[in-house]
Structure 1
Amino acid sequence: MSMLAFFNDQNEEARLEALKSYDILDTAEEKDFDELTALASAICQTPIAFISLIDDRRQWFKSSKGIAEKETPIEQSFCAHTITSDNDIVIVEDASKDERFAANSMIQAENGITFYAGIPLINKDGFVLGSFCVIDQNKRHLTEEQTNALKIIAKQVVDKLELRRSAIELVKIHQELIDSNLFIQRFVSMAAHDIKNPMSSILLTAQLLKARLEKLQDKSCEDLIDRNINATKRLITMLDGMLAYSKSPGLLSTQKHPVNFLAFLKDVISTINIPDNFSIILPIENETLNISTIALQQILINLLTNAIRYNDKDRGLIQIRFRQDARHYFFEVEDNGVGIAKEYHEQIFSSNFTLHITDRENKKGTGIGLATVKELIRALKGTITVQSAIGNGTIFRFNLPITD
């Protein structure tokens, strides 16, 4: 393949992405690489040796001996021809007599290049990242032993590059584990807070049941008992889900269940203490969703609870909207509460950030809820936004993918 055809090839984009994954371009000198170029120069008895990495516009030298430049344009690059070659080594004993390089300014210059030998640096995925080269201003012939040694050193260069990429991936995985642990802590903290609602329902129902039984048993007691049982079942289901996700956070995005959305919403609302002066308007359409129910439950409980807590109107109103397209579920939770100033629309999703205002019961927020809501939605590969103004209520909009 010609050099021009190579760099216009559709696979070139993938090669550049592979090169980028090593995060090595424009980095400082490193002793491990410098020792390899010095060794190649000594073995081949050439004054110049370098490790060349080639992107879409230049060849950049990670390590070099005998040259001051850090990079040169692709048009002047011998190595650009090396990475397009089908051979495991490219040797040019006299570049002035090679039609590929005869007009190259690096040959025509004083003390220009005459001898060149380059080996493609091919990673484990088959992408050519650059080349390992030795150069002389005089004609030269490499022995078989020198050629073999140069190939071995080039392999060591590739091995060091792979070790570098593995180290980068390990650092990334380590950070993801840290983030995952922090996320679990916030999730459990918020969920434990939300559990207080069904727990309160259980306690209140039990107290009413006890008081009635002390006076006189009647059929209405059966209704109280049913409420107690249902609240307890919801609590157990919630706890089971929390325990499962705390042990394996990946289940949050992989373990989905079909659910009747209106029935699901009514079940969620039943776990919340709704004041008598509040109305909640549900969507008209009744859809079946395939979704992580425990995550959606926590998201909605938090948004609905906040809509109730931070409402200063005589008649509180909450409206839940839903729609979907071929790829996403779209949710809205709108209230007519106190509203949020525009300058805080991003900050409210930050951990431990609070607006320093009190709710209907004169209590301040913890700054955990909305941060965890955003993390839950992010873990499900969705997004959340807020539209609000002081005194005009708030609309939270979030979407979740139907398929990953």
Structure 2
Amino acid sequence: MQIPAKPINEQDRLLELQQLKLMHTEADANFDIITRLASAICDVPIALISLIDADKQWFKSKTGWDICDTERDISFCAHAILQPKDITIIPDSRLDERFKDNPLLTSDYPVIFYTGVPLLTKKGNAIGTLCIIDHKPKTLSNSQITSLKDLASQVESLFELRKSNLQLREVESLLQKKNEQLRKFAGTVSHDMKMPLANMILTTDILKAKYAPSFDEQGNNYLSYLKQSSFSLSEYIDNLLSYYESEELTVQNLEVFDLHDLLEDIIDLLNINEDYIINLPENGIDIQTNKSALNQILLNLITNSLKYNDKETGIIDINCVEDHAYYYIQVSDNGKGIPQDKIESIFDLFSTASETDNKGKKGNGIGLSTVRNLVHSLDGIISVSSKEKEGATFDFTIKKVSA
């Protein structure tokens, strides 16, 4: 018996095999279909997808074969990969000096006929074979040989697809780690900034109360600007914290509550003046979900409707219906609306639809991104429709939780 030699690219070949992470994995229907087809097309009892490791030959897929692996030294496929660009056809292994006294020839089901197509990576390394076996001498027609090569190409495509998927998972995992680091960094920095900002606001009030008579009008204006800027930065930090905290919320912590009661609490909190009309859903509806998440969603949407309304009388309509699977909630207004070129990006972080609100303040583009995160955390989706100068409508769903 002739022990198969090692290819000159052995280390590179083994490295690519390891990167695929296919050895000793569960059966895969995609590969099994190919071995069944190979067996049927070539009219043989056995078809295998073999992977040649450093010392072993392991079968990723097998039709008509019970053995999971063999030693590489007795492997027919280990010979086949030595000619990576050619198909290896052995009509009768008993007549081939390479396989004299090979244990696979003396078993109850001897490997007499063998044909193997090397399975190549993009770099040209043969990491295994698609092979067929019979217990008696045999020959293949040209069409059978062509079909076997075509099936081998499909196996190679599956290998490449797996490699791409593994790479994507690694990138996704890395991005998740980086995002988590960024979230923690932003949270830490934001928390650390809140106390100095509070001190700045308090110090500004003390300076104004104690030394206002000593300052001229411009000096007092500077103090007002400083306080206003501190409040704006504090609000920005609060919104940033809400955004990152929203990524951690889930549909857990369920409560059953009346939507009317929640909306009335929000309206009381906002202390809305007489220039606005808010129409609540006609019928009361009990909702079971994460109350804190829904409260923050509605608070953001209603606040935006108030801040960006330029009409003499602002109108906000809130509706809710349900079916067996979802709650459907709609918040619409008659405000400034959203420019069409902003619709696509309105939920992106730091994206704003309007230069300033009705008090002349510029938004920070965090609120609606937070809303989207919260809706997604409740297994829902959100969308917006708008006509500029006529108003905007936000529709979102909340998935019902099975009891």
TM-score by length of 1: 0.50
User: Corresponding residue for 1:7?
Assistant: none
User: Paired residue for 1:15, among 29, 36, 41?
Assistant: 29
Unaligned residue ranges in structure 1 (runs of 5+)? 1-13, 20-31, 53-58, 69-77, 83-88, 121-128, 132-157, 191-238
Equivalent residues of 1:257, 1:293 under 8 A apart? yes
User: Corresponding residue for 2:143?
Assistant: 104
Structure number with greater Rg is: 2
**CA offset digits 1:255-278 (Å, max 9, x no partner):** 321111111111222222312211
Structure 1 segment 208-227 matched on structure 2, within 5 A: none
1:400 alignment partner, SS class: strand
Aligned-partner Cα distance in 2 for 1:353–1:281: 28
2:361 alignment partner, SS class: coil
User: Corresponding residue for 2:103?
Assistant: none
- C-alpha distance 355-249 of structure 1, shift in aligned 2 (>3 A): closer
Aligned-partner Cα distance in 2 for 1:383–1:17: 37
User: Corresponding residue for 1:253?
Assistant: 251
**CA offset digits 1:60-118 (Å, max 9, x no partner):** 944399999xxxxxxxxx94xx6xxxxxx84577441xxxx44635289xxx99xxxx9
- C-alpha distance 42-272 of structure 1, shift in aligned 2 (>3 A): same
Residue 297 (structure 1) shift: 1.1
User: Corresponding residue for 1:268?
Assistant: 266
Letter paired with 1:290: Q
User: Corresponding residue for 2:175?
Assistant: 175
Equivalent residues of 1:313, 1:337 under 8 A apart? yes
- C-alpha distance 45-385 of structure 1, shift in aligned 2 (>3 A): closer
User: Corresponding residue for 1:290?
Assistant: 288
Aligned-partner Cα distance in 2 for 1:17–1:372: 44
Equivalent residues of 2:247, 2:377 under 8 A apart? no
User: Paired residue for 1:301, among 291, 299, 302?
Assistant: 299
Aligned-partner Cα distance in 1 for 2:173–2:313: 49
Aligned-partner Cα distance in 2 for 1:161–1:387: 39
User: Paired residue for 2:384, among 373, 383, 386?
Assistant: 386
**Does 1:48 pair with 2:83?**
yes
1:399 alignment partner, SS class: strand
User: Paired residue for 1:347, among 345, 348, 353?
Assistant: 345
User: Corresponding residue for 1:210?
Assistant: none
- C-alpha distance 16-393 of structure 1, shift in aligned 2 (>3 A): farther
Aligned-partner Cα distance in 2 for 1:367–1:66: 50
Residue 249 (structure 1) shift: 5.3
Residue 397 (structure 1) shift: 0.6
Equivalent residues of 2:338, 2:354 under 8 A apart? no
- C-alpha distance 285-42 of structure 1, shift in aligned 2 (>3 A): closer
Letter paired with 2:79: C
Letter paired with 1:324: E
2:282 alignment partner, SS class: coil
Aligned-partner Cα distance in 1 for 2:287–2:351: 32
Residue 186 (structure 1) shift: 8.5
Aligned-partner Cα distance in 2 for 1:394–1:178: 35
- C-alpha distance 372-251 of structure 1, shift in aligned 2 (>3 A): closer
Structure 1 segment 4-403 matched on structure 2, within 5 A: 15-16=29-30, 43-44=78-79, 47-48=82-83, 61-63=119-121, 79=130, 90=133, 94-96=137-139, 101-102=140-141, 104-106=143-145, 168-179=168-179, 246=245, 251-403=249-401
Aligned-partner Cα distance in 2 for 1:338–1:42: 72
- C-alpha distance 162-16 of structure 1, shift in aligned 2 (>3 A): closer
- C-alpha distance 184-323 of structure 1, shift in aligned 2 (>3 A): farther
Aligned-partner Cα distance in 2 for 1:106–1:270: 79
Residue 381 (structure 1) shift: 2.2
**How large is the Cα RMSD of the aligned pairs?**
5.2
Residue 337 (structure 1) shift: 0.4
Count of paired positions: 259
**CA offset digits 1:221-274 (Å, max 9, x no partner):** xxxxxxxxxxxxxxxxxx9xx99x94x955522332111111111122222231
- C-alpha distance 334-162 of structure 1, shift in aligned 2 (>3 A): closer
Aligned-partner Cα distance in 2 for 1:295–1:321: 18
Aligned-partner Cα distance in 2 for 1:269–1:339: 21
Residue 17 (structure 1) shift: 11
Residue 182 (structure 1) shift: 5.7
Equivalent residues of 1:334, 1:396 under 8 A apart? yes
**CA offset digits 1:1-20 (Å, max 9, x no partner):** xxxxxxxxxxxxx834999x
Aligned-partner Cα distance in 1 for 2:137–2:320: 73
Letter paired with 2:121: S
- C-alpha distance 184-339 of structure 1, shift in aligned 2 (>3 A): farther
Residue 187 (structure 1) shift: 9.7
**CA offset digits 1:20-48 (Å, max 9, x no partner):** xxxxxxxxxxxx98989999789537653
Letter paired with 1:175: L
Aligned-partner Cα distance in 2 for 1:16–1:107: 20
Equivalent residues of 1:283, 1:321 under 8 A apart? yes
Residue 324 (structure 1) shift: 0.7
Residue 379 (structure 1) shift: 2.6
Aligned-partner Cα distance in 1 for 2:187–2:296: 9
Letter paired with 1:369: G
1:253 alignment partner, SS class: coil
